[in-house]
Structure 1
Protein backbone atom coordinates (compact mmCIF):
# COMPACT_ATOMS: atom_id res chain seq x y z
CA UNK A 1 0.00 0.00 0.00
CA UNK A 2 2.80 2.43 0.86
CA UNK A 3 4.45 2.12 -2.56
CA UNK A 4 1.10 2.39 -4.34
CA UNK A 5 -0.01 5.48 -2.38
CA UNK A 6 3.29 7.29 -2.92
CA UNK A 7 3.26 6.47 -6.65
CA UNK A 8 -0.15 8.16 -6.91
CA UNK A 9 0.78 11.24 -4.86
CA UNK A 10 4.19 11.92 -6.43
CA UNK A 11 2.92 13.15 -9.84
CA UNK A 12 0.81 15.91 -8.27
CA UNK A 13 2.23 19.42 -8.65
CA UNK A 14 3.29 21.54 -5.71
CA UNK A 15 3.92 20.29 -2.18
CA UNK A 16 2.07 17.14 -1.08
CA UNK A 17 2.33 15.34 2.24
CA UNK A 18 0.52 12.33 3.65
CA UNK A 19 0.30 10.37 6.89
CA UNK A 20 -1.54 7.15 7.76
CA UNK A 21 -1.58 5.18 11.00
CA UNK A 22 -3.40 1.98 11.93
CA UNK A 23 -4.65 2.72 15.46
CA UNK A 24 -4.80 -0.97 16.37
CA UNK A 25 -1.25 -1.90 15.39
CA UNK A 26 0.60 1.42 15.19
CA UNK A 27 1.70 0.63 11.62
CA UNK A 28 2.20 3.88 9.71
CA UNK A 29 2.82 5.19 6.20
CA UNK A 30 4.34 8.58 5.58
CA UNK A 31 5.11 10.70 2.56
CA UNK A 32 6.89 13.97 3.29
CA UNK A 33 4.93 13.95 6.54
CA UNK A 34 7.49 16.18 8.31
CA UNK A 35 7.45 18.86 5.61
CA UNK A 36 6.01 22.19 6.78
CA UNK A 37 2.81 23.14 4.96
CA UNK A 38 0.67 26.29 4.92
CA UNK A 39 -2.12 25.28 7.28
CA UNK A 40 -5.31 26.91 5.95
CA UNK A 41 -8.18 25.91 8.28
CA UNK A 42 -6.50 22.83 9.77
CA UNK A 43 -4.79 25.19 12.24
CA UNK A 44 -8.25 25.58 13.82
CA UNK A 45 -7.73 22.21 15.52
CA UNK A 46 -5.04 23.80 17.67
CA UNK A 47 -7.27 26.75 18.52
CA UNK A 48 -9.87 24.22 19.70
CA UNK A 49 -7.29 22.41 21.81
CA UNK A 50 -6.26 25.69 23.45
CA UNK A 51 -9.89 26.42 24.34
CA UNK A 52 -10.25 23.05 26.04
CA UNK A 53 -6.94 23.55 27.87
CA UNK A 54 -8.43 26.73 29.36
CA UNK A 55 -11.69 25.00 30.25
CA UNK A 56 -9.75 22.16 31.91
CA UNK A 57 -7.88 24.71 34.05
CA UNK A 58 -11.22 26.31 35.01
CA UNK A 59 -10.09 29.58 33.41
CA UNK A 60 -13.50 29.94 31.73
CA UNK A 61 -16.62 27.81 31.12
CA UNK A 62 -17.90 26.43 27.82
CA UNK A 63 -21.15 28.35 28.34
CA UNK A 64 -19.38 31.73 28.48
CA UNK A 65 -21.32 34.13 26.23
CA UNK A 66 -19.93 36.23 23.38
CA UNK A 67 -21.66 38.98 21.42
CA UNK A 68 -20.50 39.00 17.79
CA UNK A 69 -19.83 42.53 16.55
CA UNK A 70 -20.11 43.48 12.88
CA UNK A 71 -16.46 44.62 12.79
CA UNK A 72 -15.36 41.11 13.83
CA UNK A 73 -17.03 39.43 10.85
CA UNK A 74 -14.90 38.19 7.96
CA UNK A 75 -15.65 36.18 4.80
CA UNK A 76 -16.31 33.57 3.76
CA UNK A 77 -16.45 30.20 5.47
CA UNK A 78 -19.05 29.71 8.14
CA UNK A 79 -22.32 31.24 9.27
CA UNK A 80 -21.77 34.03 11.79
CA UNK A 81 -20.91 36.67 9.18
CA UNK A 82 -24.33 36.18 7.58
CA UNK A 83 -26.46 36.28 10.74
CA UNK A 84 -27.95 39.31 12.49
CA UNK A 85 -25.76 41.86 14.22
CA UNK A 86 -24.88 41.37 17.90
CA UNK A 87 -25.93 37.73 17.89
CA UNK A 88 -24.95 36.03 21.16
CA UNK A 89 -23.26 32.64 21.18
CA UNK A 90 -21.50 30.50 23.75
CA UNK A 91 -17.85 29.49 23.76
CA UNK A 92 -18.93 25.96 22.81
CA UNK A 93 -20.97 27.39 19.92
CA UNK A 94 -17.88 29.19 18.62
CA UNK A 95 -15.74 26.05 18.78
CA UNK A 96 -18.43 23.99 17.07
CA UNK A 97 -18.92 26.53 14.27
CA UNK A 98 -15.15 26.83 13.82
CA UNK A 99 -14.79 23.09 13.29
CA UNK A 100 -17.93 21.80 11.56
CA UNK A 101 -18.46 24.82 9.26
CA UNK A 102 -14.87 26.13 9.38
CA UNK A 103 -16.29 29.50 10.51
CA UNK A 104 -13.58 32.15 10.13
CA UNK A 105 -15.36 34.74 12.29
CA UNK A 106 -15.75 32.23 15.13
CA UNK A 107 -12.06 31.36 14.81
CA UNK A 108 -10.91 34.97 15.00
CA UNK A 109 -13.10 35.67 18.04
CA UNK A 110 -11.53 32.63 19.74
CA UNK A 111 -7.98 33.70 18.80
CA UNK A 112 -8.65 37.16 20.28
CA UNK A 113 -10.10 35.57 23.41
CA UNK A 114 -7.35 32.97 24.00
CA UNK A 115 -4.43 34.94 22.55
CA UNK A 116 -1.68 34.07 20.07
CA UNK A 117 0.90 33.56 22.82
CA UNK A 118 -1.27 31.14 24.77
CA UNK A 119 -2.21 29.12 21.69
CA UNK A 120 1.40 28.85 20.50
CA UNK A 121 2.61 28.02 24.01
CA UNK A 122 0.03 25.24 24.17
CA UNK A 123 1.25 23.93 20.80
CA UNK A 124 4.87 23.83 22.04
CA UNK A 125 3.98 22.31 25.42
CA UNK A 126 2.14 19.49 23.69
CA UNK A 127 5.30 18.63 21.77
CA UNK A 128 4.59 20.08 18.32
CA UNK A 129 7.74 21.64 16.88
CA UNK A 130 6.69 22.82 13.41
CA UNK A 131 3.09 23.87 13.95
CA UNK A 132 2.56 27.60 14.54
CA UNK A 133 -0.27 30.14 14.49
CA UNK A 134 1.02 33.43 13.05
CA UNK A 135 -2.13 35.22 11.89
CA UNK A 136 -5.90 35.23 12.06
CA UNK A 137 -8.22 33.95 9.36
CA UNK A 138 -8.80 36.06 6.24
CA UNK A 139 -6.02 38.46 7.22
CA UNK A 140 -5.17 39.45 3.65
CA UNK A 141 -2.59 42.05 4.65
CA UNK A 142 -0.52 39.53 6.63
CA UNK A 143 -0.98 36.90 3.96
CA UNK A 144 0.39 39.21 1.24
CA UNK A 145 3.41 39.83 3.47
CA UNK A 146 4.04 36.08 3.54
CA UNK A 147 2.84 35.60 7.12
CA UNK A 148 1.20 32.18 7.28
CA UNK A 149 0.14 29.50 9.73
CA UNK A 150 1.95 26.16 9.46
CA UNK A 151 1.36 22.47 10.14
CA UNK A 152 2.81 19.12 9.12
CA UNK A 153 0.85 15.98 8.26
CA UNK A 154 2.88 14.05 10.83
CA UNK A 155 2.14 16.46 13.67
CA UNK A 156 -1.56 16.47 12.81
CA UNK A 157 -1.42 12.67 12.92
CA UNK A 158 0.14 12.88 16.39
CA UNK A 159 -2.57 15.31 17.53
CA UNK A 160 -5.32 12.97 16.30
CA UNK A 161 -3.72 9.96 17.97
CA UNK A 162 -3.56 11.83 21.28
CA UNK A 163 -7.28 12.64 20.91
CA UNK A 164 -8.08 9.00 20.12
CA UNK A 165 -6.12 7.78 23.15
CA UNK A 166 -7.72 10.39 25.42
CA UNK A 167 -4.42 12.07 26.31
CA UNK A 168 -5.02 15.43 24.59
CA UNK A 169 -5.84 17.74 27.52
CA UNK A 170 -7.93 14.99 29.20
CA UNK A 171 -10.11 12.02 28.31
CA UNK A 172 -13.24 14.15 28.64
CA UNK A 173 -11.81 16.97 26.51
CA UNK A 174 -10.51 14.52 23.89
CA UNK A 175 -13.89 12.83 23.60
CA UNK A 176 -15.68 16.17 23.32
CA UNK A 177 -13.34 17.39 20.59
CA UNK A 178 -13.78 14.15 18.64
CA UNK A 179 -17.55 14.37 18.98
CA UNK A 180 -17.44 17.86 17.45
CA UNK A 181 -15.24 16.67 14.59
CA UNK A 182 -17.60 13.76 13.86
CA UNK A 183 -20.26 16.36 13.00
CA UNK A 184 -18.10 17.89 10.26
CA UNK A 185 -20.35 19.26 7.51
CA UNK A 186 -17.67 19.64 4.80
CA UNK A 187 -17.64 16.09 3.48
CA UNK A 188 -16.32 16.25 -0.09
CA UNK A 189 -12.85 14.82 0.50
CA UNK A 190 -12.02 11.92 2.88
CA UNK A 191 -15.67 10.93 3.45
CA UNK A 192 -16.83 11.30 -0.18
CA UNK A 193 -16.96 7.58 -1.04
CA UNK A 194 -16.90 6.28 2.52
CA UNK A 195 -20.33 7.68 3.33
CA UNK A 196 -21.71 5.75 0.34
CA UNK A 197 -20.32 2.55 1.88
CA UNK A 198 -22.01 3.23 5.23
CA UNK A 199 -23.92 6.32 6.33
CA UNK A 200 -23.32 5.26 9.93
CA UNK A 201 -19.52 5.18 9.56
CA UNK A 202 -18.03 7.72 11.96
CA UNK A 203 -15.35 10.05 10.60
CA UNK A 204 -13.84 12.73 12.84
CA UNK A 205 -12.05 15.14 10.51
CA UNK A 206 -11.15 18.73 9.60
CA UNK A 207 -10.65 20.22 6.18
CA UNK A 208 -8.63 23.20 5.00
CA UNK A 209 -8.89 25.16 1.76
CA UNK A 210 -7.42 28.20 0.07
CA UNK A 211 -6.19 29.03 -3.42
CA UNK A 212 -4.03 26.06 -4.42
CA UNK A 213 -4.38 24.56 -0.93
CA UNK A 214 -6.43 21.55 0.08
CA UNK A 215 -6.21 19.45 3.24
CA UNK A 216 -8.29 16.86 5.00
CA UNK A 217 -7.16 15.13 8.19
CA UNK A 218 -9.03 12.77 10.44
CA UNK A 219 -9.84 9.45 12.06
CA UNK A 220 -11.97 6.82 10.31
CA UNK A 221 -13.74 4.53 12.78
CA UNK A 222 -14.03 1.22 10.96
CA UNK A 223 -13.57 -2.19 12.59
CA UNK A 224 -9.93 -1.14 12.50
CA UNK A 225 -9.75 2.61 13.22
CA UNK A 226 -7.08 4.60 11.42
CA UNK A 227 -5.71 8.10 10.96
CA UNK A 228 -5.32 9.61 7.51
CA UNK A 229 -3.91 13.06 6.77
CA UNK A 230 -3.68 14.64 3.32
CA UNK A 231 -2.04 18.04 2.86
CA UNK A 232 -1.49 19.93 -0.39
CA UNK A 233 0.01 23.36 -1.13
CA UNK A 234 0.30 25.05 -4.53
CA UNK A 235 -1.28 22.00 -6.12
CA UNK A 236 -4.07 20.90 -8.43
CA UNK A 237 -6.74 20.75 -5.74
CA UNK A 238 -9.41 18.81 -7.71
CA UNK A 239 -6.90 16.06 -8.54
CA UNK A 240 -5.70 15.88 -4.95
CA UNK A 241 -9.23 15.78 -3.57
CA UNK A 242 -10.16 12.89 -5.85
CA UNK A 243 -7.13 11.01 -4.54
CA UNK A 244 -8.14 11.80 -0.95
CA UNK A 245 -11.50 10.14 -1.55
CA UNK A 246 -10.04 7.19 -3.48
CA UNK A 247 -7.20 6.40 -1.08
CA UNK A 248 -9.37 6.78 2.03
CA UNK A 249 -11.88 4.30 0.63
CA UNK A 250 -9.15 1.84 -0.37
CA UNK A 251 -7.49 2.00 3.06
CA UNK A 252 -10.87 1.40 4.69
CA UNK A 253 -11.55 -1.59 2.44
CA UNK A 254 -8.12 -3.14 3.11
CA UNK A 255 -8.53 -2.77 6.89
CA UNK A 256 -12.17 -3.87 7.00
CA UNK A 257 -12.17 -7.05 4.91
Structure 2
Protein backbone atom coordinates (compact mmCIF):
# COMPACT_ATOMS: atom_id res chain seq x y z
CA UNK A 1 0.00 0.00 0.00
CA UNK A 2 1.21 3.50 -0.80
CA UNK A 3 2.51 5.20 2.31
CA UNK A 4 2.10 8.80 3.38
CA UNK A 5 5.84 9.38 2.81
CA UNK A 6 5.71 7.92 -0.70
CA UNK A 7 2.68 10.02 -1.59
CA UNK A 8 4.32 13.20 -0.33
CA UNK A 9 7.45 12.46 -2.36
CA UNK A 10 5.39 12.01 -5.52
CA UNK A 11 3.34 15.15 -4.93
CA UNK A 12 6.41 17.26 -4.26
CA UNK A 13 7.48 16.85 -7.88
CA UNK A 14 4.75 19.18 -9.13
CA UNK A 15 5.23 22.92 -9.59
CA UNK A 16 2.81 25.46 -8.15
CA UNK A 17 0.34 24.47 -5.45
CA UNK A 18 -1.03 20.95 -5.18
CA UNK A 19 -2.98 19.28 -2.40
CA UNK A 20 -4.33 15.80 -1.81
CA UNK A 21 -6.67 13.93 0.49
CA UNK A 22 -7.33 10.18 0.65
CA UNK A 23 -9.65 8.35 3.02
CA UNK A 24 -10.31 4.62 3.25
CA UNK A 25 -14.05 4.47 3.97
CA UNK A 26 -13.76 1.10 5.72
CA UNK A 27 -10.80 1.65 8.04
CA UNK A 28 -10.77 5.46 8.22
CA UNK A 29 -7.09 5.54 7.25
CA UNK A 30 -6.07 8.80 5.57
CA UNK A 31 -3.23 10.26 3.54
CA UNK A 32 -2.91 14.03 3.33
CA UNK A 33 -0.80 16.65 1.63
CA UNK A 34 -1.48 20.36 2.19
CA UNK A 35 -5.11 19.33 2.57
CA UNK A 36 -6.09 22.52 4.41
CA UNK A 37 -4.43 24.90 1.94
CA UNK A 38 -7.04 27.16 0.29
CA UNK A 39 -7.13 26.46 -3.44
CA UNK A 40 -8.89 28.38 -6.20
CA UNK A 41 -11.94 26.20 -6.59
CA UNK A 42 -12.83 26.24 -10.27
CA UNK A 43 -15.88 23.99 -10.71
CA UNK A 44 -15.45 21.92 -7.53
CA UNK A 45 -17.34 24.73 -5.73
CA UNK A 46 -20.42 23.41 -7.56
CA UNK A 47 -20.60 20.52 -5.08
CA UNK A 48 -21.24 23.06 -2.33
CA UNK A 49 -23.87 24.83 -4.44
CA UNK A 50 -25.56 21.44 -4.88
CA UNK A 51 -25.50 20.90 -1.10
CA UNK A 52 -27.23 24.26 -0.62
CA UNK A 53 -29.92 23.34 -3.15
CA UNK A 54 -30.66 20.09 -1.32
CA UNK A 55 -30.74 21.88 2.02
CA UNK A 56 -33.38 24.23 0.60
CA UNK A 57 -35.35 21.30 -0.78
CA UNK A 58 -35.23 19.56 2.60
CA UNK A 59 -36.59 22.73 4.25
CA UNK A 60 -39.28 22.97 1.53
CA UNK A 61 -38.10 26.45 0.53
CA UNK A 62 -38.53 25.42 -3.11
CA UNK A 63 -39.55 22.41 -5.19
CA UNK A 64 -37.46 20.13 -7.40
CA UNK A 65 -39.79 20.54 -10.38
CA UNK A 66 -40.17 24.31 -10.36
CA UNK A 67 -39.37 25.76 -13.75
CA UNK A 68 -36.73 28.22 -14.93
CA UNK A 69 -36.64 29.95 -18.31
CA UNK A 70 -33.08 30.28 -19.55
CA UNK A 71 -32.65 33.48 -21.53
CA UNK A 72 -29.66 34.38 -23.67
CA UNK A 73 -28.69 37.00 -21.07
CA UNK A 74 -28.15 34.20 -18.52
CA UNK A 75 -25.65 32.33 -20.68
CA UNK A 76 -21.90 32.28 -20.12
CA UNK A 77 -19.23 30.51 -22.20
CA UNK A 78 -17.36 27.31 -21.78
CA UNK A 79 -18.60 24.29 -19.85
CA UNK A 80 -22.07 22.92 -20.22
CA UNK A 81 -25.01 22.65 -22.60
CA UNK A 82 -27.48 25.45 -21.86
CA UNK A 83 -25.43 28.14 -23.63
CA UNK A 84 -25.82 26.20 -26.88
CA UNK A 85 -29.59 25.57 -26.67
CA UNK A 86 -32.43 27.81 -27.83
CA UNK A 87 -33.28 31.08 -26.15
CA UNK A 88 -36.04 30.65 -23.57
CA UNK A 89 -35.62 26.91 -22.98
CA UNK A 90 -37.36 25.82 -19.78
CA UNK A 91 -35.72 23.49 -17.29
CA UNK A 92 -36.50 22.34 -13.76
CA UNK A 93 -34.51 23.03 -10.63
CA UNK A 94 -33.20 19.45 -10.66
CA UNK A 95 -32.29 19.77 -14.34
CA UNK A 96 -30.09 22.72 -13.37
CA UNK A 97 -28.42 20.75 -10.56
CA UNK A 98 -27.83 17.76 -12.84
CA UNK A 99 -26.36 19.89 -15.63
CA UNK A 100 -24.19 21.77 -13.11
CA UNK A 101 -22.61 18.53 -11.89
CA UNK A 102 -22.45 16.10 -14.80
CA UNK A 103 -21.54 18.63 -17.53
CA UNK A 104 -20.16 21.31 -15.16
CA UNK A 105 -22.64 23.73 -16.76
CA UNK A 106 -21.63 27.29 -15.85
CA UNK A 107 -24.94 28.82 -16.94
CA UNK A 108 -26.90 26.36 -14.79
CA UNK A 109 -24.62 27.17 -11.86
CA UNK A 110 -25.10 30.92 -12.20
CA UNK A 111 -28.87 30.59 -12.41
CA UNK A 112 -28.81 28.53 -9.20
CA UNK A 113 -26.52 31.04 -7.45
CA UNK A 114 -28.89 33.87 -8.38
CA UNK A 115 -31.91 31.84 -7.26
CA UNK A 116 -30.57 30.66 -3.90
CA UNK A 117 -28.32 33.63 -3.19
CA UNK A 118 -24.58 33.67 -2.58
CA UNK A 119 -25.08 34.55 1.09
CA UNK A 120 -27.41 31.59 1.57
CA UNK A 121 -24.96 29.20 -0.11
CA UNK A 122 -22.13 30.43 2.10
CA UNK A 123 -24.47 30.01 5.08
CA UNK A 124 -24.90 26.34 4.15
CA UNK A 125 -21.12 25.96 3.82
CA UNK A 126 -20.63 27.52 7.26
CA UNK A 127 -23.35 25.41 8.91
CA UNK A 128 -21.67 22.29 7.54
CA UNK A 129 -18.56 23.30 9.46
CA UNK A 130 -16.33 24.32 6.56
CA UNK A 131 -14.17 27.30 7.43
CA UNK A 132 -12.04 27.81 4.32
CA UNK A 133 -14.50 26.97 1.54
CA UNK A 134 -16.21 30.08 0.18
CA UNK A 135 -18.24 31.20 -2.86
CA UNK A 136 -17.38 34.80 -3.76
CA UNK A 137 -18.28 35.11 -7.42
CA UNK A 138 -20.33 33.43 -10.12
CA UNK A 139 -18.84 31.33 -12.89
CA UNK A 140 -17.05 33.17 -15.67
CA UNK A 141 -17.24 36.51 -13.87
CA UNK A 142 -14.13 37.89 -15.54
CA UNK A 143 -14.31 41.30 -13.88
CA UNK A 144 -14.28 39.91 -10.34
CA UNK A 145 -11.62 37.41 -11.35
CA UNK A 146 -9.41 40.26 -12.59
CA UNK A 147 -9.92 41.93 -9.21
CA UNK A 148 -8.58 38.80 -7.52
CA UNK A 149 -11.99 37.72 -6.20
CA UNK A 150 -12.05 33.93 -6.32
CA UNK A 151 -13.93 30.95 -4.94
CA UNK A 152 -11.93 28.69 -2.63
CA UNK A 153 -11.98 25.06 -1.48
CA UNK A 154 -9.56 22.79 0.32
CA UNK A 155 -8.88 19.14 -0.44
CA UNK A 156 -9.62 18.27 3.20
CA UNK A 157 -12.95 20.08 3.44
CA UNK A 158 -14.06 18.68 0.09
CA UNK A 159 -13.09 15.23 1.31
CA UNK A 160 -15.21 15.76 4.41
CA UNK A 161 -18.17 16.81 2.22
CA UNK A 162 -17.76 13.57 0.26
CA UNK A 163 -17.55 11.61 3.51
CA UNK A 164 -20.85 13.14 4.62
CA UNK A 165 -22.46 12.29 1.29
CA UNK A 166 -21.16 8.70 1.43
CA UNK A 167 -22.48 8.13 4.96
CA UNK A 168 -25.85 9.77 4.23
CA UNK A 169 -25.16 12.69 6.57
CA UNK A 170 -25.25 15.58 4.10
CA UNK A 171 -28.69 17.20 4.60
CA UNK A 172 -30.40 13.78 4.91
CA UNK A 173 -29.90 10.20 3.80
CA UNK A 174 -32.34 10.66 0.92
CA UNK A 175 -30.63 13.88 -0.21
CA UNK A 176 -27.19 12.27 0.05
CA UNK A 177 -28.29 9.30 -2.04
CA UNK A 178 -29.69 11.64 -4.69
CA UNK A 179 -26.45 13.63 -4.77
CA UNK A 180 -24.40 10.44 -5.20
CA UNK A 181 -26.64 9.29 -8.03
CA UNK A 182 -26.08 12.59 -9.85
CA UNK A 183 -22.31 12.49 -9.32
CA UNK A 184 -22.10 8.92 -10.62
CA UNK A 185 -23.37 10.23 -13.98
CA UNK A 186 -20.41 12.59 -14.36
CA UNK A 187 -19.57 12.91 -18.05
CA UNK A 188 -16.09 14.44 -17.68
CA UNK A 189 -13.97 11.35 -17.17
CA UNK A 190 -10.40 12.22 -18.15
CA UNK A 191 -8.90 12.36 -14.66
CA UNK A 192 -9.83 10.00 -11.75
CA UNK A 193 -11.71 7.52 -13.98
CA UNK A 194 -9.32 7.58 -16.95
CA UNK A 195 -7.63 4.22 -16.32
CA UNK A 196 -10.32 2.81 -14.02
CA UNK A 197 -12.95 2.90 -16.77
CA UNK A 198 -10.82 0.55 -18.89
CA UNK A 199 -10.53 -2.29 -16.38
CA UNK A 200 -12.92 -5.26 -16.23
CA UNK A 201 -15.76 -4.73 -13.76
CA UNK A 202 -15.00 -1.02 -13.68
CA UNK A 203 -15.97 0.53 -10.34
CA UNK A 204 -18.65 3.14 -9.89
CA UNK A 205 -17.19 6.60 -9.34
CA UNK A 206 -19.08 9.62 -7.97
CA UNK A 207 -16.92 12.64 -8.69
CA UNK A 208 -16.62 16.28 -9.75
CA UNK A 209 -13.88 17.89 -11.80
CA UNK A 210 -12.69 21.48 -11.95
CA UNK A 211 -10.39 23.24 -14.36
CA UNK A 212 -9.22 26.65 -15.49
CA UNK A 213 -5.93 28.07 -16.70
CA UNK A 214 -3.25 26.37 -14.61
CA UNK A 215 -5.95 24.77 -12.43
CA UNK A 216 -7.02 21.15 -12.39
CA UNK A 217 -8.98 19.26 -9.74
CA UNK A 218 -10.89 16.03 -9.43
CA UNK A 219 -12.57 14.88 -6.23
CA UNK A 220 -14.69 11.83 -5.68
CA UNK A 221 -15.72 8.53 -4.15
CA UNK A 222 -14.45 5.34 -5.77
CA UNK A 223 -16.66 2.37 -4.91
CA UNK A 224 -15.62 -1.23 -4.38
CA UNK A 225 -15.42 -3.74 -1.56
CA UNK A 226 -13.12 -1.12 0.01
CA UNK A 227 -14.51 2.25 -1.11
CA UNK A 228 -12.38 5.35 -0.71
CA UNK A 229 -12.29 9.11 -1.22
CA UNK A 230 -9.64 10.89 -3.26
CA UNK A 231 -9.32 14.65 -3.70
CA UNK A 232 -6.69 16.07 -6.03
CA UNK A 233 -6.38 19.87 -6.22
CA UNK A 234 -3.87 21.79 -8.32
CA UNK A 235 -3.34 25.54 -8.81
CA UNK A 236 -0.66 27.08 -11.02
CA UNK A 237 0.67 23.64 -11.84
CA UNK A 238 1.53 21.52 -14.86
CA UNK A 239 -2.03 20.38 -15.50
CA UNK A 240 -1.39 17.60 -18.07
CA UNK A 241 1.16 15.96 -15.76
CA UNK A 242 -1.03 16.41 -12.69
CA UNK A 243 -4.05 14.94 -14.48
CA UNK A 244 -2.02 11.89 -15.51
CA UNK A 245 -0.97 11.57 -11.86
CA UNK A 246 -4.64 11.63 -10.78
CA UNK A 247 -5.45 8.79 -13.16
CA UNK A 248 -2.41 6.71 -12.19
CA UNK A 249 -2.81 7.07 -8.43
CA UNK A 250 -6.55 6.40 -8.54
CA UNK A 251 -5.93 3.15 -10.40
CA UNK A 252 -3.05 2.21 -8.09
CA UNK A 253 -5.11 2.82 -4.94
CA UNK A 254 -8.08 0.88 -6.33
CA UNK A 255 -5.91 -2.09 -7.27
CA UNK A 256 -4.19 -2.15 -3.88
CA UNK A 257 -7.48 -2.01 -1.97
CA UNK A 258 -9.81 -4.03 -4.16
CA UNK A 259 -7.90 -6.51 -6.35
State whether TM-score is above 0.5.
yes
Matches of 2:110 and 2:75 in 1, distance apart?
A: 9
- Aligned 8 A contact 2:196 2:202 in 1: no
Deviation (angstroms), 1:5: 1.8
- Aligned 8 A contact 1:20 1:28 in 2: yes
1:177 counterpart residue number: 179
Alignment of 1:67-216 (within 5 A): 67-198=69-200, 200-216=202-218
Structure 2 unaligned regions, length at least 5? none
Deviation (angstroms), 1:198: 3.5
Matches of 2:78 and 2:210 in 1, distance apart?
A: 13
2:219 counterpart residue number: 217
Matches of 1:129 and 1:217 in 2, distance apart?
A: 19
What's the CA shift string for 1:84-107, capped at 9, x where partnerless?
000000000000000000000000
What's the CA shift string for 1:188-236, capped at 9, x where partnerless?
0000000111464200000000000000000000110000000000000
- Aligned 8 A contact 2:76 2:83 in 1: yes
Matches of 2:142 and 2:119 in 1, distance apart?
A: 21
Q: Decide whether aligned partners of structure 1 residues 163 and 243 sit closer, same or farther in structure 2, where only a CA change above 3 A counts.
A: same
Structure 1 unaligned regions, length at least 5? none
What's the CA shift string for 1:64-121, capped at 9, x where partnerless?
1000011000001000000000000000000000000000000000000000110000
What's the CA shift string for 1:164-189, capped at 9, x where partnerless?
00010000000000000000000000
Matches of 1:204 and 1:48 in 2, distance apart?
A: 14
Matches of 2:254 and 2:202 in 1, distance apart?
A: 14
Deviation (angstroms), 1:8: 1.2
Aligned residue for 1:197, secondary structure, equals coil
Matches of 2:29 and 2:229 in 1, distance apart?
A: 11
Matches of 2:202 and 2:17 in 1, distance apart?
A: 33
Give the TM-score taking structure 2 as reference length: 0.98
Count of aligned pairs between the two proteins: 257
Q: Does 1:11 align with 2:13?
A: yes
2:242 counterpart residue number: 240
| Residue range with higher mean Cα deviation, 7-16 or 100-109 | 7-16
Give the TM-score taking structure 1 as reference length: 0.99
Two-structure CA RMSD over aligned residues (Å): 0.7
- Aligned 8 A contact 2:118 2:136 in 1: yes
Matches of 2:44 and 2:168 in 1, distance apart?
A: 20
What's the CA shift string for 1:103-154, capped at 9, x where partnerless?
0000000000000110000000000000000000000000000000000000
